[in-house]
Structure 1
Amino acid sequence: MRRKTGLFFVGCAGACAIAMLGLGCAQIFGFDKSYDTVGGAAGGGGAGGGDGGGATASSGSGGATASSGSGGATASSGAGGGGAGGGGPDPECEVLEVMPGESLELSIIDDMEDEDLWILDGDGPAPREGTWFMDHDESVGGIHEPANEPDLMTPLDPPRGDSLVALHTSANNGFRVWGAGVAVFVNDDDYYDASAYRGITFWARAAEGSSRRLKVMFVERQTRHTGGICDNANDQCNDHFHKRVVLADDWKHFKVPAKCLEQEGFGQQFNAPAMDQLWGFYFSFDPRQAFDIWVDDVAFYR
């Protein structure tokens, strides 16, 4: 059943599930959306199937970023910290894109094709429930579009292969506190066990004149202000694990490994993100950054 839920830090609600997809050869160049399934039924942009046995994806192009994480007192399975111990930077944390020929097992979160704010429903053992929403600070003079959240889901002209709809949002440079962006939660404003996944993938591009450094935040219990772990009374919360990706004018396929995530440093620090207690994701820009971006086909990957 789909429900609406009010939030404090980032509000909204939702319903969803898990669907497995495979990305074909044309998607190496960012222009197809035909899914070949393994053990599940996913076609054209919808999705079906459970949490196990997803299809593989072979595709890629575009740059992306990564970060490092933390495991709090109640987190039983946080992701490892970024970087290869003792051997210099981890190459997977340096090249944050899905490369041509790279094979990933995907579990789709939302492909946007139904044009609503709800992430996809599913029948897996841990079904996901959530919605997309807009969020920004309260700076006077900040303008965040579209005016109505349902208009986030926008028809593509021209389409990106079989993909006909993507999330589109923009803002001026008037947000001066923490910035603005869009977000999605994955378990009806509760926490979701995503420890089976290595990270997330998504397609994105920036319009002409847009800021390019997109901040991808993994919001989990340790750093969230309502999680009961970080010291919210002393402003030690909301320093979420994140990575920045650099967008381009054309569509790029990014991946953000959980092992590469890091915190900014202004709040309470943890060893790794608690992927077993994941709340959701933010796609945002820092203060004073005007942006105009498109995001599509957001998925977990193994």
Structure 2
Amino acid sequence: MLGLGCAQIFGFDKTYEPAGGVSGGGGAPDGDGGGGRDSAADGGGAGVGGGAAASGTGGATASGTGGATASGTGGAAGGGGGGGDPCEVLEVMPGEVLSLSMIDDMEDEDLAIPEGDVENPRSGDWFMDHDESMEGIHEPEIEADLMSALDPPRGDSLVALHTSANDGFRVWGAGVAVFVNSDDYYDASAYRGVTFWARAEEGSSRRLKVMFVDRQTRHMGGICDNENDRCNDHFHKHVTLANDWKHFKVPAECLGQEGFGEQFDAPALDQLWGLYFSFGPRQEFELWIDDVAFYR
């Protein structure tokens, strides 16, 4: 199974047990994925978002003292988040226009991504990745079959990436990834973030982890302390899937680390290795992804 081959290539034979967290993957001598563990398995969002404050206080202050009433108690105390916080709503809204640079629309049905901009070319492939739990089953068996025909089509889109797994992965989980520069690192600093379409089948986990793997956090980047297991705490954000297609956007400013590895001020978009779309341990899932793009 080629998915297993990728997991072996990117190896996950180490786990982390930080205080208050579930053990997670990454950190093997030649491993990239996993990115640690969810702080609350697949429930809640404590400590995983980054960007916005945990109290969601954007817009109104935490005490809710804004507004125009004489008592100064206008608005919902502590509600906040209504003042245009880019990390609060991670779906592209109707009528919202984004300037896109397509990473892959999947229509050619192969694993390689298009070269992209002439002056800043991209080169890479999609691959499956998962931890080495003995009871884990990750589909499809042949990695080339990741690209699947849509029935019915999603508008003009006829093909999307399709993958699934049982709940047998117990370390960091499983998912799919794409690297965007097979020779070095890609300069994505001209973009605000990543956008994509996705949905989950009935019965699937809904909590999808989107990771930006850059040179700072990657174990082979030469920046984080790999000898002491301080790498692979990748910048990430979770989105919540539905049975129907949703158009998501993940701004780079909303990304955060989990805290088990070496900490950095912000993702190094000018040295981006790739993107991971994964689910945590013990999470059964069936995922569709389409039209993955950078956006300005």
Superposition TM-score tier, normalisation by shorter sequence: 0.7 to 0.9
User: 1: distance between equivalents of 2:214 and 2:52?
Assistant: 17
**Cα deviation code 1:23-63 (max 9, x no counterpart):** xxxxxxxxxxxxxxxxxxxxxxxxxxxxxxxxxxxxxxxxx
Letter in 2 for 1:239: D
User: 2: distance between equivalents of 1:232 and 1:286?
Assistant: 22
Find 2:248's aligned residue among 247, 254, 258.
254
- Aligned pairs (5 A) from 1:81-230: 82=52, 91-230=85-224
CA contact (8 A) 1:189 1:279 kept: no
CA contact (8 A) 1:225 1:232 kept: yes
> Corresponding residue for 1:38?
none
Q: Does 1:296 align with 2:290?
A: yes
The structure with the largest alpha-carbon Rg is 2
Letter in 2 for 1:243: K
CA contact (8 A) 2:32 2:219 kept: no
**CA distance 1:91–1:163, shift in 2 (3 Å):** same
CA root-mean-square deviation: 2.1
Shift of 1:172: 0.4
User: 2: distance between equivalents of 1:109 and 1:244?
Assistant: 20
> Corresponding residue for 2:76?
none
CA contact (8 A) 1:142 1:175 kept: yes
User: 1: distance between equivalents of 2:281 and 2:181?
Assistant: 28
- Aligned pairs (5 A) from 1:1-20: 8-10=30-32
TM-score by length of 2: 0.74
Shift of 1:122: 3.5
Letter in 1 for 2:281: P
User: 2: distance between equivalents of 1:85 and 1:101?
Assistant: 22
3-state SS, counterpart of residue 126 of structure 1 = coil
User: 1: distance between equivalents of 2:215 and 2:260?
Assistant: 17
Letter in 2 for 1:244: H
Shift of 1:161: 1.0
Shift of 1:121: 2.5
Shift of 1:252: 0.3
User: 2: distance between equivalents of 1:240 and 1:122?
Assistant: 24
User: 1: distance between equivalents of 2:173 and 2:117?
Assistant: 36
User: 2: distance between equivalents of 1:82 and 1:278?
Assistant: 22
Q: Does 1:269 align with 2:291?
A: no
**Cα deviation code 1:54-111 (max 9, x no counterpart):** xxxxxxxxxxxx944xxxxxxxxxxxx5566996656110100100111110000000
Aligned length: 232
User: 1: distance between equivalents of 2:291 and 2:183?
Assistant: 21
Moved >4 Å (runs of 4+): 81-90
Letter in 2 for 1:181: G
3-state SS, counterpart of residue 113 of structure 1 = coil
CA contact (8 A) 1:82 1:262 kept: no
3-state SS, counterpart of residue 151 of structure 1 = helix
Find 1:238's aligned residue among 232, 235, 247.
232
CA contact (8 A) 1:223 1:229 kept: yes
User: 2: distance between equivalents of 1:276 and 1:259?
Assistant: 14
User: 2: distance between equivalents of 1:108 and 1:159?
Assistant: 19
**CA distance 1:211–1:189, shift in 2 (3 Å):** farther
Gaps of 5+ in 1: 12-65, 69-80
CA contact (8 A) 2:106 2:161 kept: yes
3-state SS, counterpart of residue 86 of structure 2 = helix
Letter in 2 for 1:125: E
Gaps of 5+ in 2: 1-5, 11-29, 34-47, 62-79
